[in-house]
Amino acid sequence: MALKARGIRVPEDIAVVGFGDEFMASMIEPGLTTVNLHPYRIGQQAARLFLEQVQEKEAFQPRTFVITGDLVIRQSSLKAKGEKRKPEFFKLDI
């Protein structure tokens, strides 16, 4: 809305990318390109590690898990005016 108020067109004048792939990202016009970090998966893994740490106490060994995200490309980042295509997904290690 702020860009529109300034007369800046999306995606013709500027590309816009969001973070989180919220429900509304695909419903606004133009659809918002986003990075989906899968917060549910992150929460599940955090809960597993927490429960493991509670059970193992001093024997718990900290470790790192990588949960991949997806780049969901929608119209807000497309160069060609009016170009419509299905969202593309790319794996990102974040």
| pLDDT tens digits along 33-76 | 999 989 999 999 999 999 999 999 999 999 998 988 999 999 99
Alpha helix stretches (DSSP H) within the chain: 2-5, 39-56
What does pTM read for this prediction? 0.66
CB 75 within 8 A of CB 11: yes
Q: What is the mean pLDDT of the chain?
A: 84
Exposed / middle / buried, residue 5 (Cβ in 10 Å: 0-12, 13-18, 19+): exposed
Average pLDDT over residues 5-13: 89
CB 84 within 8 A of CB 61: no
Among 77, 74, 72, 70, which Cα is nearest to 39's? 70
Q: How confident is the model at residue 90 (pLDDT cuts 50, 70, 90)?
A: very low
